[in-house]
């Protein structure tokens, strides 16, 4: 005689306890937009190719190059000429500064 034992567990808590990776999978399977990380204000695609600078200055060193197909996560817009941004390329994440003029105007 063989007997199988199954153990089920559940978590109680408020809200949806789905992990980030699972949210991305669910979003891609249902056609919904991918959820943004908590520190991201919004995501945008640049109007032209450009560089991610290490400081909010055109003379600063470049951390990464991006093109119009690249999605840029905007983290801070308090500087008058630059936004603090994160770019994901391959398996690397780069955080630096992008000129505001190359990003589409944010819809209110």
In a domain, 32, yes or no: no
In a domain, 46, yes or no: yes
What confidence tens digit (pLDDT) does each residue in 50-73 have? 999 999 999 999 999 999 999 999
In a domain, 11, yes or no: no
Report the CATH number that the domain containing residue 48 is assigned in CATH: 2.30.30.40
Total number of domains in the chain: 1
Least confidently predicted of 34-48, 67-81, 93-107: 34-48
In a domain, 16, yes or no: no
What value does the CA radius of gyration of the chain take, rounded to a whole number of Å? 20
In a domain, 3, yes or no: no
Confidence of residue 7 (pLDDT cuts 50, 70, 90): very low
In a domain, 85, yes or no: yes
In a domain, 51, yes or no: yes
What confidence tens digit (pLDDT) does each residue in 12-34 have? 444 444 445 554 444 456 566 67
- What is the pLDDT at residue 65? 94
Range(s) of the domain holding residue 49: 38-102
Between these two residues, 22 and 77, which has the higher pLDDT value? Answer: 77
In a domain, 60, yes or no: yes
């Amino acid at each position: 005689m063989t007997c199988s034992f199954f153990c089920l567990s559940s978590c109680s808590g408020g809200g949806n306890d789905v992990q980030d990776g699972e949210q991305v999978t669910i979003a891609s399977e249902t056609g919904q937009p991918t959820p943004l990380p908590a520190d991201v204000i919004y995501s945008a695609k640049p109007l032209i190719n450009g560089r991610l600078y290490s400081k909010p200055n055109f003379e600063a060193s470049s951390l990464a190059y991006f093109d119009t197909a690249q999605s840029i996560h905007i983290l801070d817009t308090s500087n008058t000429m630059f936004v603090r941004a994160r770019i994901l390329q391959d398996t690397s994440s780069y955080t630096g500064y992008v000129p505001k003029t190359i990003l589409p105007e944010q819809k209110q």
